[in-house]
């Protein structure tokens, strides 16, 4: 009998030990908690302590969150300050400036630093980096996680899926003309049906066989171990002669490729590793750590890897709630005199679950941890946390809440060759006395592209108010056809002169004088 009691007690003890290995007692005590809202984005700062299995540490926690599924003018973008042909490291305020430069129709509200990166020289991110549907970096290996953001507000977490390399050809309106599978990078086609692309790290001469379409790159990226290539550019030439690749070029090679004039001087092309599965319509994505912090609303207490996972440190994380709210958390650390002990990754998972995450991942931390928010009183952007370096560290990239509508993706051309009817150009262009631009409506158009002094505005009808400074301005207009029609050519420039108010008065007096003296 005693033997059976001993076995029962042993089993109970083993079960109990296993239980406490996967469960943790966690409590967050708030000494102070302050919340403000900026342009629909919530910022909460908590000063207090956490108790994790009896270990109490002092913490300063900043939360930044918003729900992009409820507002079309509140979105999430992943941004960087990479040069066209290299990676780069910059402080978060500089990346914000670059975001405004790249998307002048968006305003950054706030955000955090992003992916882990090569801190020694290049600033190259270690995992997936997608900027406006363009897969700039695929990452290293097959086990690095990422976070993807879609136009409808949905968020994708986990290991990205890829569909192989693809060639995308776009016209000058951004309409996809054709998508073609790329069979090889820096290798010869094996038969007449295959397409290869050579980048400028290929040092050999490409022989005089097959068609070769030489592209001048506007941006190219090759990761350090040469497992990921990205290229974007415009046509230089098509030739069948042998060629050597110049710096910042890439060359598309295939039997009879471009004999149908698929790629013209007005087009641009993208070569990238295409995303597949649930990732295929991700617009922006950023890399994350190896293991999730939160799974199905519960902190991942089996987590046993990642950046200094079992040591307290400053941390940055991203999470999503069941209602679609996306939020970022930065926990300060390495500053005990100011009550900033920092957290281990399991503790960070508990904090993310405390804020209601159904899923969450660790981003780059330590001295990289930075959170910025638009400063309504002083202007510019305030750094909300206390960077452990004592300064803002230069990082690879960031992820931000932005105010403004993302540009709609144009409908692709239904098929190639393009047999659609082309729309006529708008006629009878004039500007009325109230400064409103008018022109004839074109049947079949879905919108109009108006270029004033080189800057494009898309409008839905045939009128547009102009707010122009004094001087001479050049205006050109195109009727856009969408998927059903080819867009018209642009009209010849219409010149509109804006005069100072006293000149207008003089002209009115002169016209009145002339009318008085020419009419009996």
- Strand 282-287 to 146-150 pairing: antiparallel
What CA–CA distance (Å, rounded) separates 173 from 267? 9
Residues 334 and 483 in one domain: no
Residues 450 and 350 in one domain: no
Query: For 29-48, what is the mean pLDDT?
Result: 98
**Least confident residue range of 23-27, 103-107, 172-176, 388-392:** 23-27
What CA–CA distance (Å, rounded) separates 436 from 348? 56
Residue 351 three-state SS: helix
- State the Cα angle at 435 between 430 and 437, rounded to 5°: 40
Sequence-ordered list of residues with C-beta below 8 angstroms from that of 387, at least 6 positions apart, any chain: 314, 367, 369, 370, 393
Phi–psi pair at 140, nearest 5 degrees: -110, 135
- State the Cα angle at 516 between 514 and 520, rounded to 5°: 125
- What DSSP string runs through 90-145? B-HHHHHHHHHHH-TT-EEEEEEE---B-TTTT--BSS-EEETTEEEE--SSS---
Query: Looking at 218, 250, 275, which one is the last position of a domain?
Result: 275
Checking if the pLDDT of 103 tops 80, the result is yes
Any domain includes 408:
no
| Owner of token pair 């750094």 | 383
- Strand 184-185 to 195-199 pairing: parallel
Any domain includes 12:
no
**Least confident residue range of 72-76, 280-284, 311-315, 514-518:** 514-518
Checking if the pLDDT of 12 tops 80, the result is no
pLDDT tier at 13 (50, 70, 90 boundaries)?
Answer: very low
pLDDT tier at 464 (50, 70, 90 boundaries)?
Answer: very high
**What confidence tens digit (pLDDT) does each residue in 110-150 have?**
999 999 999 887 899 999 999 999 999 998 866 789 999 99
Residues 111 and 186 in one domain: no
Query: For 242-249, what is the mean pLDDT?
Result: 97
Contact by Cβ (8 Å): 64, 41:
yes
What CA–CA distance (Å, rounded) separates 358 from 296? 5
Closest CA to 113 of 135, 90, 131, 130: 90
Contact by Cβ (8 Å): 226, 215:
no
Contact by Cβ (8 Å): 218, 232:
yes
Residues 196 and 263 in one domain: yes
Res 11: pLDDT = 36
**What confidence tens digit (pLDDT) does each residue in 479-502 have?**
999 999 999 999 999 999 998 865
Q: What b/e sequence results for 275-297 when a residue is b if at least 16 CB atoms lie within 10 Å of its CB, and e otherwise?
A: beeebeebbbbbbbbbbbbbbee
Q: Find how far residue 11's CA is from the centre of its chain.
A: 53
Any domain includes 194:
yes
Return the CATH number at 211: 2.60.120
Closest CA to 107 of 132, 129, 75, 81: 75
Parent domain of 446: 430-503
Return the CATH number at 494: 2.60.40
What CA–CA distance (Å, rounded) separates 47 from 40? 23
**What confidence tens digit (pLDDT) does each residue in 44-81 have?**
999 999 999 999 999 999 999 999 999 989 999 999 99
pLDDT tier at 2 (50, 70, 90 boundaries)?
Answer: very low
End-to-end CA, the chain: 132
Any domain includes 421:
no
Query: Would you call 219 exposed, middle or buried from its count of C-beta atoms within 10 A (0-12, 13-18, 19+)?
Result: middle
pLDDT tier at 16 (50, 70, 90 boundaries)?
Answer: very low
Residues 153 and 178 in one domain: no
Any domain includes 193:
yes
Name the token pair of 484. Answer: 């059903």
- Strand 447-452 to 211-222 pairing: unpaired
Residues 186 and 331 in one domain: no
Residues 245 and 182 in one domain: yes
Res 5: pLDDT = 39
Furthest CA-CA distance within the chain:
132
Strand partners of residue 473: 496
Residues 294 and 146 in one domain: yes
Residue 366 three-state SS: helix
- State the Cα angle at 203 between 198 and 204, rounded to 5°: 85
Checking if the pLDDT of 17 tops 60, the result is no
Res 3: pLDDT = 40
Mean pLDDT value across the chain: 92
| Owner of token pair 């996809």 | 176
Closest CA to 401 of 67, 178, 61: 67
Q: Which residue has the higher pLDDT, 12 or 382?
A: 382
Checking if the pLDDT of 163 tops 80, the result is yes
Closest CA to 495 of 519, 466, 516, 517: 466
Any domain includes 51:
no
**What confidence tens digit (pLDDT) does each residue in 175-228 have?**
999 999 999 999 999 999 999 999 999 999 999 989 999 999 999 999 988 889
Residues 301 and 395 in one domain: yes
**What confidence tens digit (pLDDT) does each residue in 247-279 have?**
999 999 999 999 999 999 999 999 999 999 999
Res 273: pLDDT = 97
Phi–psi pair at 158, nearest 5 degrees: 125, -160
What CA–CA distance (Å, rounded) separates 480 from 99? 28
Any domain includes 509:
no
The Cα-based distances of 200 to 206, 215, 220, 255, 305 in angstroms read 12, 11, 9, 21, 37
Residues 155 and 167 in one domain: no
Contact by Cβ (8 Å): 51, 373:
no
Query: Looking at 247, 275, 303, which one is the last position of a domain?
Result: 275
Res 14: pLDDT = 35
Any domain includes 255:
yes
Residues 234 and 170 in one domain: yes
Provide the 8-state DSSP code for 358. Answer: S
Report the number of distinct structural domains present in the chain: 3
What CA–CA distance (Å, rounded) separates 400 from 96? 8
Closest CA to 490 of 175, 266, 270: 266
Q: Which residue has the higher pLDDT, 517 or 373?
A: 373
Percentage of residues in the chain with pLDDT exceeding 70?
91
HSE of 112, CA atoms in CB hemisphere, 13 A: 36
Residues 174 and 269 in one domain: yes
Contact by Cβ (8 Å): 488, 422:
yes
| Owner of token pair 């997608």 | 130
What CA–CA distance (Å, rounded) separates 351 from 362? 12
Checking if the pLDDT of 298 tops 60, the result is yes
What CA–CA distance (Å, rounded) separates 478 from 492? 10
Res 224: pLDDT = 85
pLDDT tier at 373 (50, 70, 90 boundaries)?
Answer: very high
Strand partners of residue 194: none
Q: Which residue has the higher pLDDT, 506 or 329?
A: 329
């Amino acid at each position: 009998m005693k033997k059976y009691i001993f076995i029962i007690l042993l089993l109970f003890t083993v079960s109990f030990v296993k239980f406490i290995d996967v469960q943790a007692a966690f409590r967050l005590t708030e000494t102070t908690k302050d919340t403000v809202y900026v342009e629909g984005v919530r910022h909460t700062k908590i000063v207090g302590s956490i108790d994790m299995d009896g270990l109490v540490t002092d913490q300063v926690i900043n939360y930044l969150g918003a729900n992009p599924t409820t507002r079309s003018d509140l979105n999430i973008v992943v941004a960087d300050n990479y040069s066209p042909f290299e990676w780069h490291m910059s402080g978060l305020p500089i990346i914000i400036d670059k975001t405004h430069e790249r998307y002048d129709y968006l305003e950054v509200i706030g955000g955090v630093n992003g992916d882990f990166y090569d801190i020694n020289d290049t600033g190259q991110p270690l995992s997936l980096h997608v900027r406006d549907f363009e897969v700039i970096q695929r990452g290293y290996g097959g086990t690095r996680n990422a976070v993807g953001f879609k136009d409808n507000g949905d968020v994708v977490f986990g290991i990205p899926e890829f569909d192989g390399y693809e060639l995308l050809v776009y016209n000058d309106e951004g309409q996809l003309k054709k998508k073609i599978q790329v069979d090889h990078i820096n290798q010869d086609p094996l038969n007449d049906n295959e397409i290869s692309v050579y980048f400028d790290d290929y040092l050999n001469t490409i022989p005089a066989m097959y068609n070769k379409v030489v592209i001048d790159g506007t941006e190219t990226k090759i990761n350090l171990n040469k497992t990921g290539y990205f290229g974007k550019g415009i046509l230089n030439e098509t030739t069948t002669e042998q060629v050597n690749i110049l710096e910042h070029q890439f060359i598309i090679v295939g039997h009879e490729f471009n004999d149908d004039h698929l790629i013209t001087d007005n087009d641009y092309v993208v070569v990238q590793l295409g995303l597949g599965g649930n990732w295929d319509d991700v617009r922006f994505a950023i890399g994350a750590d190896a293991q999730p912090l939160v799974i199905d609303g519960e902190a991942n207490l089996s987590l046993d890897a990642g950046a200094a996972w079992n040591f307290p440190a400053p941390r940055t994380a991203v999470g999503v709630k069941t209602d679609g709210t996306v939020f970022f958390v930065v926990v300060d650390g390495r500053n005990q005199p100011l009550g900033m002990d920092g957290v281990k990754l399991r503790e960070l998972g508990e904090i993310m679950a405390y804020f209601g995450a159904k899923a969450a991942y660790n981003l780059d931390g330590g001295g990289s941890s930075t959170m910025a928010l638009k400063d309504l009183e002083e202007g510019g952007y305030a750094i909300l946390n206390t960077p452990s370096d004592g300064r803002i560290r230069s990082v690879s990239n960031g992820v931000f809440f932005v105010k403004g509508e993302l540009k709609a993706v144009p409908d692709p051309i239904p098929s190639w060759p393009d047999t659609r009817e082309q729309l006529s150009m708008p006629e009878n262009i004039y500007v009325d006395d109230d400064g409103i631009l008018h022109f004839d409506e074109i049947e079949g158009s879905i919108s109009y592209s108006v270029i004033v002094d080189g800057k494009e505005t898309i409008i839905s009808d045939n009128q547009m108010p102009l707010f122009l400074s004094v001087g001479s301005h050049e205006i050109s207009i195109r009727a856009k056809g969408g998927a059903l029609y080819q867009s018209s050519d642009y009209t010849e420039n219409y010149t509109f002169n804006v005069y100072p108010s006293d000149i207008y008065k003089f002209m009115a007096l002169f016209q009145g004088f002339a009318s008085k003296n020419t009419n009996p």
